[in-house]
Amino acid sequence: MQSAVLDWYAANARDLAFRRTSDPWSVLVSEVIAQQTQASRAAAAWERLIAEFPTPAELAAASPAAAIRAWRGLGYNRRAIALRAAAIAIVDEHGGVVPHEYEALTRLPGIGPYTARAVLAIAFDQPVAALDTNIRRVLGRAFLGGEGALPPRRLQATADGFVPPARAATWTHALMDVGAAFCRKRDPRCVACPLATHCRYLAAGRPTAASKPVPARTKSFPATTRWLRGRILDRLRDAPGRTWVDFDVAIGEHSAASVADHVARLAAEGLLEVHHRHPRRARLARS
């Protein structure tokens, strides 16, 4: 089964920029970006961010405003602040070098178990399994017969044992691509999958593969909080230098009062600062 996955990947791997390096900082940045971003968009953003902040020291020395500006277009902007905090910790506690121990990585701000294991596997080629949703589904279905076949701790230990010696990085990328191309949550492409002749899930008749209707959106995207937060930060990104920007009118479908409320919330999260005398006037955070 390892050979089937690795042989398919050797011929069909997605050409993503961040896969061309094993530099630990570059890998860590790519994993933080990819957490909630489509792979192709993540690759383009990663190239831009690494060009601006090629080492932890560069990002640690930058202002929050610079980090937020660089994060434009990726959404969930708190990730930019967390990544900068991680860079500061790497500089202050690890001499500017990304640690290669699981416990040390998970102590970094914003770095959870999955990201830590992905860095260990991809950057340091340690035999650990990085179990994101797609990889968990591939391993659960093909190797174990179905999703949820094992409780989380046993699944992690079992998945660690599946990692081919000295091929952890390639194995991680290969499983990601198999999950994206074939082992999808709904309507998996089982017949074309490189694991088809080995898959216990397929052999059992794909017991949970039926397509399910996707719930209709109750709100258009411009009516959501996420859209509004993005527009507020984009206005601040577009403002030259340290210019204050007034937020005293409606934005899209959101009233002026709602805009002011979200400006205050973003300030509480450390993404921006408000004028001490004019609470509807803001600029990107500087410290």
Task: Indicate the SS3 state at residue 36.
Answer: coil
Residue 78 is part of which domain span?
Answer: 23-124
Two structure tokens written together for 187 = 């309507």
CA distance 283 to 204: 57
DSSP structure class, residue 273: E
Same domain? 142 vs 198: yes
Phi-psi category of residue 16: left, alpha or beta, with phi > 0 → left and psi -120 to 50 → alpha: beta
CA distance 196 to 199: 5
Q: Is residue 17 part of a domain?
A: no
CA distance 271 to 151: 38
Look at residue 86 in the predicted model and tell me its pLDDT: 97
Two structure tokens written together for 89 = 């910790």
Active site residues: 31
Q: Is residue 227 part of a domain?
A: yes
Q: Is residue 264 part of a domain?
A: yes
pLDDT tens column, 225-249: 888 888 988 888 888 877 899 998 9
Look at residue 194 in the predicted model and tell me its pLDDT: 96
In contact, 62 and 69? CB cutoff 8 Å: no
Pick the closest to residue 134 from 193, 221, 79, 78 (CA basis): 193
Same domain? 106 vs 189: no
Q: Is residue 231 part of a domain?
A: yes
Same domain? 110 vs 37: yes
Same domain? 37 vs 120: yes
Same domain? 116 vs 35: yes
Q: Is residue 255 part of a domain?
A: yes
CA distance 26 to 234: 25
| Digitized pLDDT (tens) for each residue of the chain, 287 residues in all | 999 999 999 999 999 999 999 999 999 999 999 887 788 888 889 999 999 999 999 999 999 999 998 998 888 888 999 999 999 999 999 999 999 999 999 999 999 999 999 999 999 999 999 999 899 999 999 998 888 888 889 999 999 999 999 999 999 999 999 999 999 988 899 999 999 999 999 998 886 655 455 555 556 778 888 888 889 888 888 888 778 999 989 998 899 999 999 999 999 888 888 888 888 889 888 86
Count of domains observed in the chain = 3
CA distance 9 to 182: 12
Look at residue 186 in the predicted model and tell me its pLDDT: 85
DSSP per residue over 140-151, as a string? IIIITSSTTSS-
Q: Which secondary structure element, helix H or strand E, spans residue 215, and what is its range? A: none
Same domain? 107 vs 40: yes
In contact, 112 and 106? CB cutoff 8 Å: yes
